[in-house]
Structure 1
Amino acid sequence: MASDVRITTTVARVLRIFLDDLDEPRYGFELMKLARVPSGTLYPILARLESAGWIEGHREPVDPSAEGRPARRFYVFTPQGAISARQELAELSARITPGPVTRRFPRPESGRA
C-alpha cells in the first residue's frame, strides 16, 4: 500500500494533521488552512490518499440551502492508512535526520616529543 503514495513534504504535512487526532474528521478548507497549501495541491493529494485506501471521504448530511453553504466532504484515516502513514513518516524522518557528526580535522598535536 505504501508504494501507492509518494511522500513529499507537502503530503507529510497533510498526514501529520490527520495523525494529530485520528478521531477528528477533516474537510478540505480546514486542511488547506492547517497545511498551508492551495486547493490545487491539496485535492490531488486527498484523491491519491483515498485511492490508495489510506483515507475515506464522505459528504456531510446537511441541506445546503438551510446551511447557506455546500455540504462538506469529510475525510478520516482508515485503520491501515493510519499505520501506513506512521510508517512512511518515520521512514521520511530517518532519511532526513542527519547522522552522527564526524570530525573532519585532525586533533591538535599534544606537544610531546
Structure 2
Amino acid sequence: MASKRKPSAAAQTLLAAFLAGPANWRYGYDLTKETKVGAGTLYPLLDRWARQGLLESEWRAADAPGRPARHAYRLTSAGIVFARTWAISPAVVENLKPSMA
C-alpha cells in the first residue's frame, strides 16, 4: 500500500512524467533524461512503487543485437489514482513528453 505521506519533489516529478502517458511503458533511463531525477533516486522509487502495486514492470528484449534486455514500467489503475493525487502541477505534466509509446 502506498504511503499517506506527501512524496518528495523527485517522486512528484516522476509521477507527473508517468501521467503524461499513463498507459505507456517507460524505461528508467529515459525517465532520468526526461525528469533529471538521478538513477540513485529513480530506481529505488520504481522498485518501491512496483512492490506497492502502483507500477507494472516487465523485461523487454533489446532493440539491437548484443544489447541487454531493459526493464519497462507503467502505471497500474491504483498508480494512476496515486499519481493524480500527488503529481506536481498539471502545467508541468503537459510539458513532459513521453519517451516511448
TM bucket (normalised to shorter chain) is 0.7 to 0.9
Q: Choose 1 or 2 for highest CA Rg.
A: 1
The alignment's C-alpha RMSD in Å is: 2.2
Tell me by how many angstroms 1:16 deviates.
0.5
TM-score of the pair, normalised by structure 2: 0.76
Q: Measure, in 2, the Cα distance between the counterparts of 1:85 and 1:37.
A: 16
Q: Measure, in 2, the Cα distance between the counterparts of 1:52 and 1:5.
A: 14
Tell me by how many angstroms 1:51 deviates.
1.5
Q: Measure, in 1, the Cα distance between the counterparts of 2:38 and 2:76.
A: 24
Cross-structure match for 1:86: 84
Cross-structure match for 2:8: 8
Cross-structure match for 1:26: 26
Which whole-Å deviations, capped at 9, do the CAs of 1:57-106 have from their partners, x for residues lacking one? Answer: 1001x268x523111110010011101211223xx76xxxxxxxxxxxxx
Compared CA separation, residues 6 and 57, structure 1 to 2 (3 A): farther
TM-score of the pair, normalised by structure 1: 0.68
Q: Which amino acid aligns with 2:54?
A: W
Q: Measure, in 1, the Cα distance between the counterparts of 2:69 and 2:57.
A: 12
Q: Structure 2: 5+ residue runs without aligned partners? A: 90-101
Contact 1:24–1:76 (8 Å) recurs in 2: yes
Residue 75 of structure 1: SS of its match in structure 2? Answer: strand
Compared CA separation, residues 6 and 56, structure 1 to 2 (3 A): farther
Aligned residues: 89
Q: What is the identity percentage for the equivalent residue pairs of Structure 1 and Structure 2? A: 37
Q: In the TM superposition, what are the counterparts of 1:1-113 in structure 2 within 5 Å?
A: 1-3=1-3, 7-60=7-60, 62=61, 67-89=65-87
Contact 1:5–1:49 (8 Å) recurs in 2: no
Contact 1:18–1:77 (8 Å) recurs in 2: yes
- 4+ residue segments displaced more than 3 Å: none
